[in-house]
Amino acid sequence: MASFSRSLPFMSGRRRVILAAMSVAFGNILPARAAQNVLAEFGGKDGLTAIMEDFDTFLMADSRTRPFFEKVDRKRIKQQLVIQFCALLGGDCVYSGGNMKGIHRGLQITKEDFNALIEALQEAMDKHKVSFRAQNKLLAVLAPMHRDIVEK
């Protein structure tokens, strides 16, 4: 538990405690039926699409994340994120974009950059009134990806 909490530098307090407890309960994998319910809490695929629009806006508004995204195909990234998150949340989507390690290789993403992106995602989910419980389920699946994404 302690080491899992340490791997979530972007969280503090209550969020982190709940997430750590959930990780123990679910082993970071959402059971199929529970996962279906979680996707519904994001408003399904349409809801995810709307959340990704605001996520993109927040990423571009933050000087920590904007430099990474201003020269890439953000429309494609948004589309891929919708599919990837839909699949992670148990929806009927098949992610066929690049693997996390390959896509982010060489970008020199730091832990701080990673945390900034997660904050933008949390802001977007808050704006769309995704429940705290559902947010944490997605974050629990995303958190371990920092191992493939953070390079320095």
Q: What CA–CA distance (Å, rounded) separates 126 from 51? A: 9
Our finding on whether 107 is near ligand HEM (CB under 6 A) is yes
* Choices 23-31, 38-46, 111-119, 128-136; region in contact with ligand HEM by CB under 6 A: 111-119
Residue selected from 12, 61, 72, 131 as contacting ligand HEM according to rule CB under 6 A: 72
Interaction of residue 65 with ligand HEM, rule CB under 6 A = yes
Minimum distance between the CB of residue 28 and ligand HEM, rounded to whole angstroms?
13
Q: What residues between 1 and 60 interact with ligand HEM by CB under 6 A?
A: none
Which residue ranges make up the site for ligand HEM (CB under 6 A)? 65, 68-69, 72-73, 76-77, 80-81, 84, 97-98, 103-104, 107, 109, 113-114, 117, 142, 145, 149
